[in-house]
Structure 1
């Protein structure tokens, strides 16, 4: 790992990356985050609409590249939060050039939080990476977590079902970390069996939210969540949302614990 202080990475340019995809990739992704066989415009190439969160799989190279440069210990770092702003629809097949940089590094005392921003013509994506042991460099603490929106009980509740094979399927979309497939690797981090990818939990929950709102999941225009607890493939989660127009503030939980907190999503189109 690089021995420079975490603050040295503020503004670091991670360069550009051009990626391409086909209808097969977009369909595989949709199935991995819970699309049904009868949702033909998500799973049939003749009328395909690409889910906006698919862009996060195309941009995953950026936080991975930062970890590869030694900015943080990739074996200990945690994906703390994710934001997505949609600028234009992703086509069913195409090529996209993205640029990335370290937008900020916050000092949380015992840890640092690296904010990685990826820009493209279709979206802006931001990763918050929580890096234990790298705080204490005298920097700003950064913004606090968003308070839960809305007073009183949520106006909308819905189950969000995951399935036993989901992590094994989602990893074919790009994130092949062993904790999502190898029981020995998951036990090493204190989990009874392989866990679901955070971005898969996020996308599956957003598909469920769209259905509950009567929106099309491909009409998502903005989203953000904080990852607070792991999910096991096959868990049935509960979504609770406060709705305002075509936007919602939401949380997703399991057995009384929150797995996605401070969630916000907006739909358009």
Structure 2
């Protein structure tokens, strides 16, 4: 097997700061309703762990800027997040990034960009057409869905403004806001960020498992198809009792296309202080009403 010359490449470090306002905007953008004060009010704030991914978005962008792949055709194929400790409502952190591995898919390659700090380790899997064929290992196959009926069936309603709001958190790729850029990327209109779809799906899933959404410990999923703002999504989950409040899950759109596959989420066991764990199944309806004039 031949390793890619990009494998092991250090991408440097970056120090970022954030405030409670950023964490609240993130929670609203992914669908937290306005009455979830623990997620949207700075006096009671628990930061959603997936907010960390907005603080590390610089790393996959940096690899593309170095010329590892064609940034106009590469797509975000999957995401992994391991939470080491909860984020404070505001603060500063330094993240370091590297190309952990490059998998050879023949006509394409998958670049795994790993970002680490004291609070989390996050890995972006970037699917890059035209970057394969270097003789490397293909890597593991996609995880298979459980061969039993799902125990959980939940609904997530995205909002027409959701992509426009989410991009304010740092991922400002034009395809999520500009119709011309979306068409250039092969879509007929702007589409939702995959990480926004993923975080929006976790809110009701956490409630269904009796866990607080801020108690996420580990998360993994693959992005199979785009979601367009305003679509209703169906989340199907299979409990994984061996790992506490945990589940495997898939997400599909109303027309039947699967948008997230291989989903796996694990939460810390609820404590006495976790009194508000109601599912936020209508993810954007209530939340976005509150910020229509923002």
197, 200, 213: which one pairs with 1:201?
Answer: 197
Q: What are the superposed Cα offsets for residues 135-161 of structure 1, whole Å, 9 maximum, x if unpaired? A: 11111111111111x322101100011
Deviation of 1:212 after TM superposition, in Å, equals: 2.3
Q: Deviations over 1:63-116 (max 9, x none)?
A: 110001111111110100000000000000011111110000011000011011
Q: Stretches of 4+ moved more than 3 A in 1?
A: none
Point out where structure 1 has 5 or more consecutive residues left out of the alignment. Answer: none
**Aligned with residue 224 of structure 2, among 225, 228, 239:** 228
Residue 107 of structure 2: which of 98, 106, 110 is its match? Answer: 110
TM-score, with structure 1 as normaliser: 0.96
CA deviation digits over 1:7-65, x for unaligned, max 9? 11110001111111000000000000001100001110011110000000001111110
Which residue does 2:93 correspond to in 1? 96
**Paired residue for 1:82, among 72, 79, 82?**
79
Across the aligned residues of Structure 1 and Structure 2, the Cα RMSD in angstroms comes to: 1.2
Equivalent position SS for 1:130: strand
Aligned ranges for residues 1-269 of structure 1 at < 5 Å? 7-148=4-145, 150-245=146-241, 246-254=245-253, 255-269=255-269
Q: 1:130 to 1:6 in 2, by over 3 A?
A: farther
Alpha-carbon deviations, 1:228-261, whole Å to 9, x = none? 0000001000000101231100000012211000
Kept after mapping to 2: 8 A contact 1:6/1:112: no
Structure 2 unpaired stretches of 5+:
270-294
Aligned partners of 1:6 and 1:134 also within 8 Å: no
SS of 1:35's equivalent? Answer: coil
* 1:182 CA drift (Å): 0.8
Question: Normalization by structure 2: what TM-score?
Answer: 0.88
Take 1:160 and 1:145, find their aligned partners in 2: how far apart are those partners? 24
- Distance in 1 between residues matched to 2:158 and 2:211, nearest whole Å: 20
Describe the SS at the equivalent of 2:5: helix
Kindly provide the CA deviation profile for residues 179-234 of structure 1, in whole angstroms up to 9, marking residues without a partner as x: 11111111222322110001101111111211222321101110000000000001
